[in-house]
Amino acid sequence: MIVVSNTTPLIGLASIGHFDLLWRLFGKIHIAQSVYGEVVIRGYERGGAKREVETADWMEIVSVKDRLAVDVLLDELDAGEAETIVLAKEVEADWVLMDEKKGRRKLKQLGLHTMGTLGILLRAKQSGLLLEIHSSVERLHRQGFSLGKTVIEGVLRQAGESL
């Protein structure tokens, strides 16, 4: 399975102590050079994402080849999202981990499968890696992640949990 991740799921999972779920669920994760830059170089991180990404030997940092495609997407998206989408196309990703609405919309237009941070937590519970996700969702919310009540309720319902 080929998985490409954008910045937000990396930061989100690291901030609640579940960065390891990425390896446990997907194995190798590909990230674009700009995503690495956002987390490690420019330090747009909370909760240890910088350290986690720097030390994850199962994470592959990849330079995107089609710079023109990235430039076109920069009209609508930030550099991390644009490079993540182009990289996903280039490596023929099975899954793209992304939370941002605009980026997810573009991925769906391109026929690529998306999963956000809450979806990763749900998959971890369904796989038996987590006993419950309610406390993790609450911690994400306290960390400042924008999570709509309807989305939270839907994910918790799928997990067999309640608010």
**Tally of domains in the chain:** 1
pTM, to two decimals: 0.93
3-state SS assignment for residue 4: strand
Residue 46: per-residue pLDDT: 60
Question: How do residues 13-61 score in pLDDT, each as one tens digit?
Answer: 999 999 999 999 999 999 999 999 988 887 655 667 888 998 999 999 9
Q: Are 133 and 156 in contact (CB under 8 A)?
A: yes
In a domain, 128, yes or no: no
Band (pLDDT 50/70/90 cuts) for residue 150 is confident
* Pairwise CA distance, residues 152 & 130, whole Å: 17
Q: Are 103 and 140 in contact (CB under 8 A)?
A: no
In a domain, 134, yes or no: no
Q: Are 48 and 19 in contact (CB under 8 A)?
A: yes
More confident residue, 138 or 162: 138
* Pairwise CA distance, residues 10 & 106, whole Å: 20
* Pairwise CA distance, residues 74 & 65, whole Å: 15
The 8-class DSSP code of residue 92 comes to T
* Average pLDDT for 131-152: 89
Tally of CB atoms within 10 A around 75: 7
Phi/psi at 82 (nearest 5 deg)? -60, -50
Q: Are 98 and 107 in contact (CB under 8 A)?
A: yes
What residue numbers bound the domain in which 105 lies? Answer: 3-117
More confident residue, 114 or 48: 114
In a domain, 129, yes or no: no
**Domain CATH code at residue 45:** 3.40.50.1010
In a domain, 123, yes or no: no
The proportion of the chain whose per-residue pLDDT surpasses 90, expressed as a percent, equals 80
In a domain, 77, yes or no: yes
The mean predicted confidence, pLDDT, of the chain is: 92
In a domain, 86, yes or no: yes
* Pairwise CA distance, residues 83 & 64, whole Å: 7
